[in-house]
A and B are shown apart, each in its own frame.
Chain A
Amino acid sequence: KAGVTQTPRYLIKTRGQQVTLSCSPISGHRSVSWYQQTPGQGLQFLFEYFSETQRNKGNFPGRFSGRQFSNSRSEMNVSTLELGDSALYLCASSFQGAHEQYFGPGTRLTVT
Protein backbone atom coordinates (compact mmCIF):
# COMPACT_ATOMS: atom_id res chain seq x y z
CA LYS A 1 0.00 0.00 0.00
CA ALA A 2 1.47 3.39 -0.95
CA GLY A 3 2.21 5.77 1.89
CA VAL A 4 1.29 9.39 2.37
CA THR A 5 2.79 11.63 -0.29
CA GLN A 6 3.41 15.36 -0.08
CA THR A 7 4.33 17.80 -2.80
CA PRO A 8 6.46 19.72 -3.21
CA ARG A 9 9.20 18.47 -0.89
CA TYR A 10 11.01 21.79 -0.77
CA LEU A 11 9.83 25.32 -1.39
CA ILE A 12 11.40 28.76 -1.13
CA LYS A 13 9.09 31.77 -1.04
CA THR A 14 9.38 35.48 -0.33
CA ARG A 15 7.60 37.35 2.47
CA GLY A 16 4.13 38.41 1.43
CA GLN A 17 3.65 35.63 -1.10
CA GLN A 18 1.24 32.75 -0.69
CA VAL A 19 1.87 29.03 -0.94
CA THR A 20 -0.17 25.87 -1.48
CA LEU A 21 0.98 22.48 -0.27
CA SER A 22 -0.54 19.18 -1.31
CA CYS A 23 -1.07 15.89 0.49
CA SER A 24 -2.30 12.54 -0.83
CA PRO A 25 -3.37 10.18 1.96
CA ILE A 26 -3.07 6.43 2.12
CA SER A 27 -5.77 4.79 0.02
CA GLY A 28 -8.93 4.34 2.07
CA HIS A 29 -8.00 6.91 4.69
CA ARG A 30 -10.58 9.66 5.03
CA SER A 31 -8.91 11.85 7.65
CA VAL A 32 -6.03 14.18 6.87
CA SER A 33 -4.34 16.23 9.58
CA TRP A 34 -1.73 18.93 9.07
CA TYR A 35 1.10 19.83 11.46
CA GLN A 36 3.83 22.45 11.54
CA GLN A 37 7.23 21.50 12.91
CA THR A 38 9.68 24.18 13.98
CA PRO A 39 12.78 23.87 16.19
CA GLY A 40 11.30 26.09 18.87
CA GLN A 41 7.69 24.90 18.97
CA GLY A 42 7.96 21.24 18.01
CA LEU A 43 5.05 19.61 16.19
CA GLN A 44 1.94 21.78 16.30
CA PHE A 45 -1.49 20.75 15.04
CA LEU A 46 -2.88 23.00 12.30
CA PHE A 47 -6.19 21.40 11.29
CA GLU A 48 -7.89 18.17 10.36
CA TYR A 49 -10.20 17.36 7.48
CA PHE A 50 -12.57 14.43 7.31
CA SER A 51 -14.91 13.79 4.40
CA GLU A 52 -14.20 17.26 2.97
CA THR A 53 -15.10 19.02 6.24
CA GLN A 54 -12.75 20.73 8.66
CA ARG A 55 -13.34 18.86 11.87
CA ASN A 56 -10.78 20.50 14.15
CA LYS A 57 -8.50 23.50 14.07
CA GLY A 58 -5.37 24.40 15.99
CA ASN A 59 -4.30 27.77 17.29
CA PHE A 60 -2.99 29.33 14.08
CA PRO A 61 -3.96 32.61 12.40
CA GLY A 62 -6.49 32.72 9.60
CA ARG A 63 -3.68 32.99 7.05
CA PHE A 64 -3.46 29.22 7.36
CA SER A 65 -6.29 27.44 5.61
CA GLY A 66 -6.97 24.11 4.00
CA ARG A 67 -9.41 22.00 2.11
CA GLN A 68 -10.09 18.40 1.27
CA PHE A 69 -11.36 16.97 -1.99
CA SER A 70 -13.78 14.13 -2.59
CA ASN A 71 -10.86 11.71 -3.16
CA SER A 72 -9.51 12.65 0.32
CA ARG A 73 -6.53 14.54 -1.09
CA SER A 74 -5.90 17.70 0.88
CA GLU A 75 -4.25 21.04 0.34
CA MET A 76 -3.17 23.67 2.79
CA ASN A 77 -2.64 27.30 1.90
CA VAL A 78 -0.66 29.98 3.69
CA SER A 79 -1.27 33.54 2.57
CA THR A 80 0.87 36.62 3.20
CA LEU A 81 3.88 34.58 4.22
CA GLU A 82 6.00 35.70 7.17
CA LEU A 83 9.56 34.72 8.05
CA GLY A 84 8.21 32.76 11.01
CA ASP A 85 6.26 30.49 8.69
CA SER A 86 9.51 28.78 7.71
CA ALA A 87 8.99 25.23 8.91
CA LEU A 88 8.49 21.61 7.98
CA TYR A 89 4.83 21.05 7.15
CA LEU A 90 3.66 17.51 7.72
CA CYS A 91 0.43 15.88 6.80
CA ALA A 92 -0.84 12.65 8.30
CA SER A 93 -3.66 10.38 7.26
CA SER A 94 -5.75 7.91 9.20
CA PHE A 95 -8.89 5.91 8.66
CA GLN A 96 -11.01 7.96 11.03
CA GLY A 97 -8.59 10.38 12.67
CA ALA A 98 -8.82 9.45 16.29
CA HIS A 99 -6.05 6.88 16.50
CA GLU A 100 -2.89 6.02 14.59
CA GLN A 101 -1.90 8.62 12.04
CA TYR A 102 0.63 7.95 9.29
CA PHE A 103 2.83 10.81 8.23
CA GLY A 104 4.18 11.90 4.89
CA PRO A 105 7.78 13.07 4.43
CA GLY A 106 6.82 16.73 4.79
CA THR A 107 7.29 19.90 2.80
CA ARG A 108 10.19 22.09 3.88
CA LEU A 109 9.10 25.73 3.42
CA THR A 110 11.65 28.51 3.62
CA VAL A 111 10.45 32.10 3.63
CA THR A 112 13.05 34.75 2.80
Chain B
Amino acid sequence: DQQVKQNSPSLSVQEGRISILNCDYTNSMFDYFLWYKKYPAEGPTFLISISSIKDKNEDGRFTVFLNKSAKHLSLHIVPSQPGDSAVYFCAASEASSNTGKLIFGQGTTLQVKP
Protein backbone atom coordinates (compact mmCIF):
# COMPACT_ATOMS: atom_id res chain seq x y z
CA ASP B 1 0.00 0.00 0.00
CA GLN B 2 1.84 3.03 -1.30
CA GLN B 3 0.78 6.02 0.76
CA VAL B 4 2.89 8.52 -1.19
CA LYS B 5 2.95 8.33 -4.97
CA GLN B 6 4.92 10.09 -7.64
CA ASN B 7 3.25 8.96 -10.81
CA SER B 8 5.77 10.40 -13.25
CA PRO B 9 9.04 8.43 -13.20
CA SER B 10 10.77 11.05 -15.34
CA LEU B 11 10.49 14.61 -16.56
CA SER B 12 12.52 16.51 -19.13
CA VAL B 13 12.52 20.33 -19.42
CA GLN B 14 14.53 22.98 -21.16
CA GLU B 15 16.91 25.18 -19.21
CA GLY B 16 15.19 28.37 -18.06
CA ARG B 17 11.70 26.89 -18.16
CA ILE B 18 9.57 25.76 -15.25
CA SER B 19 9.80 22.22 -13.84
CA ILE B 20 6.71 20.91 -12.07
CA LEU B 21 6.99 17.71 -10.07
CA ASN B 22 3.86 16.16 -8.62
CA CYS B 23 3.10 13.98 -5.63
CA ASP B 24 -0.11 12.44 -4.28
CA TYR B 25 -0.79 10.94 -0.87
CA THR B 26 -3.57 8.86 0.59
CA ASN B 27 -3.10 9.11 4.37
CA SER B 28 -5.11 12.03 5.76
CA MET B 29 -3.01 11.91 8.95
CA PHE B 30 0.03 13.28 7.12
CA ASP B 31 0.57 16.86 8.19
CA TYR B 32 4.11 17.63 7.06
CA PHE B 33 5.58 17.27 3.60
CA LEU B 34 9.11 17.51 2.28
CA TRP B 35 10.98 17.43 -1.00
CA TYR B 36 14.44 15.95 -1.38
CA LYS B 37 16.88 15.92 -4.27
CA LYS B 38 19.21 12.99 -4.79
CA TYR B 39 22.27 12.59 -6.97
CA PRO B 40 23.70 9.11 -7.69
CA ALA B 41 25.92 7.70 -4.92
CA GLU B 42 24.84 10.45 -2.49
CA GLY B 43 22.24 10.71 0.24
CA PRO B 44 19.08 12.77 -0.37
CA THR B 45 19.46 16.51 0.16
CA PHE B 46 16.63 18.40 1.84
CA LEU B 47 15.11 21.07 -0.43
CA ILE B 48 11.93 22.50 0.99
CA SER B 49 9.05 21.56 3.26
CA ILE B 50 5.49 22.59 4.01
CA SER B 51 3.15 22.14 6.92
CA SER B 52 -0.46 21.20 6.35
CA ILE B 53 -1.56 24.55 7.81
CA LYS B 54 -0.11 26.27 4.74
CA ASP B 55 -0.83 25.90 1.05
CA LYS B 56 2.39 27.40 -0.30
CA ASN B 57 6.01 27.75 0.71
CA GLU B 58 8.77 29.44 -1.27
CA ASP B 59 12.53 29.28 -1.04
CA GLY B 60 14.39 30.95 -3.88
CA ARG B 61 13.71 29.10 -7.11
CA PHE B 62 11.73 26.39 -5.32
CA THR B 63 8.04 26.62 -4.42
CA VAL B 64 5.92 23.86 -2.94
CA PHE B 65 2.14 23.93 -3.23
CA LEU B 66 -0.18 21.83 -1.09
CA ASN B 67 -3.79 21.03 -1.94
CA LYS B 68 -5.13 19.19 1.10
CA SER B 69 -8.56 18.48 -0.32
CA ALA B 70 -7.00 16.74 -3.31
CA LYS B 71 -4.20 15.23 -1.21
CA HIS B 72 -1.76 16.58 -3.75
CA LEU B 73 1.45 18.55 -3.61
CA SER B 74 3.75 19.88 -6.26
CA LEU B 75 7.25 21.31 -6.46
CA HIS B 76 7.89 24.14 -8.91
CA ILE B 77 11.44 25.01 -9.94
CA VAL B 78 11.77 28.33 -11.77
CA PRO B 79 13.95 28.82 -13.70
CA SER B 80 15.26 25.29 -14.16
CA GLN B 81 19.01 24.87 -14.43
CA PRO B 82 21.10 21.91 -15.70
CA GLY B 83 22.43 21.42 -12.16
CA ASP B 84 18.87 20.64 -11.06
CA SER B 85 19.05 17.35 -12.96
CA ALA B 86 18.59 14.70 -10.26
CA VAL B 87 16.01 12.38 -8.73
CA TYR B 88 13.39 14.23 -6.67
CA PHE B 89 11.56 12.52 -3.83
CA CYS B 90 8.54 13.79 -1.98
CA ALA B 91 8.06 12.58 1.57
CA ALA B 92 5.34 12.85 4.17
CA SER B 93 5.12 12.48 7.92
CA GLU B 94 2.68 12.63 10.79
CA ALA B 95 4.58 15.43 12.48
CA SER B 96 2.03 15.63 15.26
CA SER B 97 3.10 12.14 16.34
CA ASN B 98 6.63 13.55 16.78
CA THR B 99 8.45 10.54 15.40
CA GLY B 100 11.10 10.54 12.72
CA LYS B 101 9.31 8.36 10.19
CA LEU B 102 9.18 9.71 6.66
CA ILE B 103 7.20 7.95 3.95
CA PHE B 104 8.75 8.50 0.54
CA GLY B 105 7.41 8.43 -2.97
CA GLN B 106 9.21 6.44 -5.65
CA GLY B 107 10.96 9.50 -7.07
CA THR B 108 10.91 11.46 -10.32
CA THR B 109 14.05 11.82 -12.42
CA LEU B 110 14.35 15.38 -13.67
CA GLN B 111 16.52 16.16 -16.66
CA VAL B 112 17.15 19.80 -17.48
CA LYS B 113 18.52 20.23 -20.98
CA PRO B 114 20.87 23.13 -21.76
Chain A interface (Cβ < 8 Å from any Cβ of B): 4, 31-33, 35, 42-45, 48, 50, 55-56, 58, 90, 92, 94, 96-106
Contact = CB atoms under 8 A, between A and B. Distances in A.
B104 interface: yes
Given A42-B105, A45-B103, A98-B32, A103 B43 contact: yes
Interface stretch (B17-25, B60-68, B71-79, B90-98): B90-98
B99 A97 contact: yes
B49 A97 contact: no
Most chain B CB within a 10 A radius of its CB, from A4, A50, A99: A99
B98 A97 contact: yes
B46 to A, nearest CB: 5
Contact of A97 (B42, B44, B89, B100): B100
Contacts, number: 76
B110 interface: no
B52 to A, nearest CB: 12
A112 to B, nearest CB: 20
A103 B91 CA distance: 13
Interface residues of B, number: 26
Given A90-B43, A104-B43, A42 B106 contact: yes
A4 B45 CA distance: 11
B43 A94 contact: no
B101 interface: yes
Most chain B CB within a 10 A radius of its CB, from A43, A45, A101, A104: A43
A102 B45 CA distance: 7
